[in-house]
Structure 1
Amino acid sequence: MRKIVVVDYPKDWGPKIEDVEVVDAQTYLTDATYTDIKNARIFNLCRSYKYQSAGYYVSLLAEARGHKPIPSVTTMQDLKSPTIVRAITVEINELVQKSLASIRSKSFTLSIYFGQNVALKYEKLCKQLHDLFQAPLLKAQFVFKDEWVLQSISPIPVNEIPEHHWRYVIKFAKAYFARHRFAGARITRKTYDLAILVDPNEKEPPSDKRAIHQFVEAAEAQGFYVELITKDDYRRLAEFDALFIRETTSVNHHTYKFARKAYADGLVVIDDPVSILRCTNKVYLAELLTKAKVPIPKSMIIHKDNREMVEQELGLPCVLKKPDSSFSQGVVKAKDRKSLDKELDKMLADSELIIGQEFTPTDFDWRIGILDKQPLYACRYYMAKGHWQIYNWNGQKHQQTEGDADTVPFEEVPFHVLHTALKAANLIGDGLYGVDLKEIDGKAYVIEVNDNPSIDSGCEDKILKKDLYAAIIKSIKRRIDNHKNIRTDG
């Protein structure tokens, strides 16, 4: 397996280590040579892991390419949340107290270089923290409040390592890169009540009120206690055995924090945090689907260095997408050069990478609902009247903002549509997904994979009716039972 260290600037990592390549982030993100590598572990030493920064995209695209990034995007998000940090580290509290017992100050900072510290007495604590938060360079900040508490844990930018620590860093790095296994600590799971996360004020929620009522009825019929919760109930998650998110998800949003904390607390989660990370970023999906040879409209990942090639590659009009767009928002059609430059300026100011796609108009998009790697329902979503998308957010008040939809039995869905949808969703995981596809000249093209698909009464449930809701609850129950069995067997 190739071992590749990715840095913002080559000067950030001076030492040469046997069998370890060093490459700058821009090259890794944009050079096709790295896209085609089959077997690689990516050690991300970029200065920042901020959302949609170059460092963020290094790990995101590494996952899409089938490489193994350290840290993963999940770890990056975990490091940002003090609540998740505390939830994940609760099992090592005894080790924390023992390791820091001799310290007399009220605060303490522990630098962790490749799982080690310059002081040997913190070896066990460093190893445990590194296993829980797999990142090469970490800084753990502890405060004393009756006992030692891990207040935060954050990455150390490689260019901020103190000069007198570098000889230790090089020594630790050589031992670290010589390893063949990098498996992290497993988060233990507990186990039977169901929380359904909703936003009563959301204008276009993934499920309407009647559909939510159907979910509650289906769950109660299968022996669940069910409670509808909102973002104000974050601290109550540990009271439940499963979390079902029926609110539009996003990474920099409380929905992701709920999913990740629930997962860390041992709950069964739909949408799980990994699916949210993968599905809500169009750049990740484009890279993942292209790598797996799943048909998508002609696409390109756009950045500041190749923006002048968009018209040549995709033609005009073309479609531009923000990485985390949803429900047609953050997706625009650039009809001429002037509007192309204007939209690129706006989008690239917010994100290092965006997606451009060839404009492929159709009367409707297919939506295939998939659960546990099996098709659940099939719909046709028609474009809003006089518009090129299903939703028309810029229409006048009196205009229809959403196109019509109809649900069809699977025997009426072309085989290539079903097959392509399953192939795309199965790359993400085994959760609940909605795959949007366009059918052009007898071939299906994936537009996106949604981790939080719409399930509304009278639409997606038109054929299965109550059985649709029962199937999803049954899946949640089975997952809980499986986790209980795993813990019992272990």
Structure 2
Amino acid sequence: MRKIVIVNNLKDWDFNIDEVEVVAAQAYLTEPIYTEIKNARIFNLCRSYKYQSTGYYVSLLAEARGHRAIPNVTTIQDLKSQTIVRSITNELDELIQKSLHDIKSRVFTLSIYFGQNVAKKYEKLSKQLHDLFQAPLLRAEFVFNKEWILHNISPIPLNEVPESHHRYLKDFAKAYFARHRFTGAKPKTKCYDLAILTNPLESDPPSNRKAIQQFIEAGQSLGFSCELITKDDYKRLSEFDALFIRETTSVNHHTYRFARRAHAEGLVVIDDPVSILRCTNKVYLAELLSKARVPIPKTMIIHKENRDQVITELGLPVVLKRPDSSFSQGVVKVTDEAGLKKELDHMLELSDLVIGQVFMPTDFDWRVGILDKQPLYACKYYMAKDHWQIYNWEGKKSEVSGNAETFPIGEVPFHVMHTALKAANLIGDGLYGVDLKEINGQAYVIEVNDNPSIDHGYEDLLLKKDLYLSIMKSIKRRIEIQKNIPNEQAS
């Protein structure tokens, strides 16, 4: 892979590094030779990334040409938003406090050159910030107000690097460009590289170990080189052609950042960031499903001004859901007025909006797995022992979940299947699990999951290896569509 550094003025880059080309921005934008390059990584060191500036267009056109740009347009946009910056760096809070503990001033600026700082004691923090915001040169500004807060992070124009730092800049650049991930030297024995994001420490992951192994074997049978990655591999995403997330997703979480980054890098992603955003927020789902006239339990969006109307509107018992609840966590049933007040006091401290729904008791919930807008599998999940949900996280370990029963697609009642497909297709064409209750010949959608459970011995009971193969085939097909490979070459 060609490594090309783009600068506004060739004089801005005054040193040579093996196998690194230096090109003026105007030349990259206008000369046909750079349009024809098939395999290149573009390191955008322009002086400004402002909207419609030369630097902005370098990253934008690199993406259009199929080149990998650092920073890409998504990163450029992220750097402009304090909200996104705070969200993305949320997990670094402990490291920030530890790294800046001895600083006496109330403001501190950290200069990050290719992931490093001239002071070794800030090396880990510099590396982590660079991994999250992959721009070659960054300036992080921290403010102390009871604790250190990342106030702003922005690119450093190459011509503004102090003269005294140039020797460090050169050494850091040499180390950066020497990394194996930029050389393209890895032997290509498989057609595509697939990253499967997992969390080895997660107590109840979406897929158990045997299922993960089945995914790997199915992928390998189609020519994938499959690699299990964790949250520590964020900076390596550009090495892969696709990302398959098998860790419980959430928006304010590294899983969403992985999905967002992978999508920005041009990877095929399941779960894609839009699906994560839509499925993990119950307020959005309630509004979306209601507007599309998809049957759901009678629902009320509760806030501080209307909380006194809940019993009048929904009665008791009532089910309360945090907007970001999943797999029965953050979902409670209240049976009396005192319990309702207590739970709403707690939930409305965490979120301005809470979902309230009429309680609809059933012995089981349907789960219909859907991929590419087509049904994939169907199960009945029975309620946990002596509990009103399919999961009881406060029960004994052996009784956390109830029994499950897998059904052929053709045996699922029409109204259940029709409702599940209608709900999932409102989200997208990814991999979803639609949970429904069936009462008196009517199906009601409880939620749409972007990261449905697929465990060995449960969801795969009927399809066996074909279940895993179907998902891997979908990922391969998406890659080939994205790479414009003719249909006759796809398999």
**Normalization by structure 2: what TM-score?**
0.64
Number of the residue aligned with 2:44 = 93
Against the structure 1 CA distance between its residues 464 and 352, is the aligned structure 2 distance closer, same or farther, given a 3 Å change threshold?
Answer: same
- Alignment of 1:316 with 2:267, yes or no, is no
Contact kept, 8 Å, 1:367 with 1:437, in 2: the verdict is yes
- Alignment of 1:253 with 2:241, yes or no, is no
Contact kept, 8 Å, 2:378 with 2:407, in 1: the verdict is yes
> How many Å separate the matches in 2 of 1:286 and 1:227?
36
Deviation at 1:394, TM superposition (A): 1.8
Deviation at 1:134, TM superposition (A): 7.1
> How many Å separate the matches in 2 of 1:144 and 1:454?
40
Against the structure 1 CA distance between its residues 125 and 316, is the aligned structure 2 distance closer, same or farther, given a 3 Å change threshold?
Answer: same
Is the partner of 2:200 in helix, strand or coil? Answer: coil
- Alignment of 1:404 with 2:403, yes or no, is yes
Contact kept, 8 Å, 1:318 with 1:357, in 2: the verdict is yes
> How many Å separate the matches in 2 of 1:197 and 1:129?
27
> How many Å separate the matches in 2 of 1:424 and 1:486?
31
> How many Å separate the matches in 2 of 1:302 and 1:486?
49
Contact kept, 8 Å, 1:142 with 1:149, in 2: the verdict is no
> How many Å separate the matches in 1 of 2:289 and 2:140?
36
Deviation at 1:93, TM superposition (A): 2.7
Number of the residue aligned with 1:450 = 449
Number of the residue aligned with 1:424 = 423
Structure 1 stretch displaced more, 229-238 or 361-370: 229-238
> How many Å separate the matches in 2 of 1:468 and 1:214?
9
Number of the residue aligned with 2:269 = 269
Deviation at 1:151, TM superposition (A): 4.8
> How many Å separate the matches in 2 of 1:458 and 1:335?
36
> How many Å separate the matches in 1 of 2:257 and 2:458?
30
Against the structure 1 CA distance between its residues 152 and 470, is the aligned structure 2 distance closer, same or farther, given a 3 Å change threshold?
Answer: farther
Is the partner of 2:192 in helix, strand or coil? Answer: coil
Contact kept, 8 Å, 1:142 with 1:148, in 2: the verdict is no
- One-letter amino acid of the structure 2 residue matched with residue 297 of structure 1: P
Number of the residue aligned with 2:468 = 469
Contact kept, 8 Å, 2:43 with 2:136, in 1: the verdict is no
Contact kept, 8 Å, 1:283 with 1:355, in 2: the verdict is yes
> How many Å separate the matches in 1 of 2:193 and 2:77?
31
Against the structure 1 CA distance between its residues 449 and 148, is the aligned structure 2 distance closer, same or farther, given a 3 Å change threshold?
Answer: closer
Against the structure 1 CA distance between its residues 91 and 347, is the aligned structure 2 distance closer, same or farther, given a 3 Å change threshold?
Answer: farther
> How many Å separate the matches in 1 of 2:454 and 2:468?
9
> How many Å separate the matches in 2 of 1:134 and 1:289?
31
Against the structure 1 CA distance between its residues 396 and 377, is the aligned structure 2 distance closer, same or farther, given a 3 Å change threshold?
Answer: closer
Alignment deviations for residues 32-69 of structure 1 (CA, whole Å, 9 cap, x no partner): xxxxxxxxxxxxxxxxxxxxxxxxxxxxxxxxxxxxxx
Deviation at 1:235, TM superposition (A): 1.3
Number of the residue aligned with 2:300 = 300
Q: How does 1:65-464 map to 2 (within 5 A)?
A: 93=44, 96-97=46-47, 99=48, 145=113, 149=137, 151=139, 192-396=192-396, 400-464=399-463
Contact kept, 8 Å, 2:432 with 2:448, in 1: the verdict is yes
Alignment deviations for residues 279-322 of structure 1 (CA, whole Å, 9 cap, x no partner): 01111100110111111000011111111111111101000001
Contact kept, 8 Å, 2:111 with 2:140, in 1: the verdict is no
Deviation at 1:127, TM superposition (A): 8.8
> How many Å separate the matches in 1 of 2:400 and 2:112?
55
Structure 1 residues not aligned, in runs of 5+: 1-89, 101-111, 116-121, 154-190
> How many Å separate the matches in 2 of 1:228 and 1:196?
5
Against the structure 1 CA distance between its residues 213 and 339, is the aligned structure 2 distance closer, same or farther, given a 3 Å change threshold?
Answer: same
Contact kept, 8 Å, 1:218 with 1:469, in 2: the verdict is yes
CA-based RMSD: 3.0
- One-letter amino acid of the structure 2 residue matched with residue 244 of structure 1: F
> How many Å separate the matches in 2 of 1:427 and 1:152?
40
Against the structure 1 CA distance between its residues 333 and 240, is the aligned structure 2 distance closer, same or farther, given a 3 Å change threshold?
Answer: same
- One-letter amino acid of the structure 2 residue matched with residue 438 of structure 1: K
Matched residues, number: 340
> How many Å separate the matches in 1 of 2:81 and 2:410?
54
Contact kept, 8 Å, 2:279 with 2:449, in 1: the verdict is yes
> How many Å separate the matches in 1 of 2:406 and 2:361?
21
> How many Å separate the matches in 1 of 2:418 and 2:316?
31
Against the structure 1 CA distance between its residues 128 and 442, is the aligned structure 2 distance closer, same or farther, given a 3 Å change threshold?
Answer: farther
- One-letter amino acid of the structure 2 residue matched with residue 343 of structure 1: E
Is the partner of 2:277 in helix, strand or coil? Answer: helix
Number of the residue aligned with 1:24 = none
Structure 1 stretch displaced more, 138-147 or 424-433: 138-147
Is the partner of 1:277 in helix, strand or coil? Answer: helix
Is the partner of 1:193 in helix, strand or coil? Answer: strand
- One-letter amino acid of the structure 1 residue matched with residue 448 of structure 2: V
Contact kept, 8 Å, 1:381 with 1:390, in 2: the verdict is yes
Contact kept, 8 Å, 1:328 with 1:391, in 2: the verdict is yes
> How many Å separate the matches in 2 of 1:247 and 1:144?
31
Against the structure 1 CA distance between its residues 262 and 427, is the aligned structure 2 distance closer, same or farther, given a 3 Å change threshold?
Answer: same
Larger RCO, structure (CA 8 Å, separation 6 or more): 1
Is the partner of 2:252 in helix, strand or coil? Answer: coil
**Normalization by structure 1: what TM-score?**
0.64
Alignment deviations for residues 430-465 of structure 1 (CA, whole Å, 9 cap, x no partner): 000000000111111000000000001111011111
> How many Å separate the matches in 2 of 1:401 and 1:269?
31
Against the structure 1 CA distance between its residues 317 and 143, is the aligned structure 2 distance closer, same or farther, given a 3 Å change threshold?
Answer: same
> How many Å separate the matches in 2 of 1:235 and 1:277?
22
Deviation at 1:149, TM superposition (A): 3.5
> How many Å separate the matches in 1 of 2:297 and 2:258?
33
Alignment deviations for residues 172-231 of structure 1 (CA, whole Å, 9 cap, x no partner): xxxxxxxxxxxxxxxxxxx92011111111111110111111000000000011111111
Alignment deviations for residues 407-442 of structure 1 (CA, whole Å, 9 cap, x no partner): 001221110110110010001010000000001111
Contact kept, 8 Å, 2:268 with 2:479, in 1: the verdict is yes
> How many Å separate the matches in 2 of 1:341 and 1:298?
20
> How many Å separate the matches in 2 of 1:235 and 1:358?
45
Alignment deviations for residues 57-85 of structure 1 (CA, whole Å, 9 cap, x no partner): xxxxxxxxxxxxxxxxxxxxxxxxxxxxx
> How many Å separate the matches in 2 of 1:440 and 1:353?
28
Contact kept, 8 Å, 1:383 with 1:403, in 2: the verdict is yes
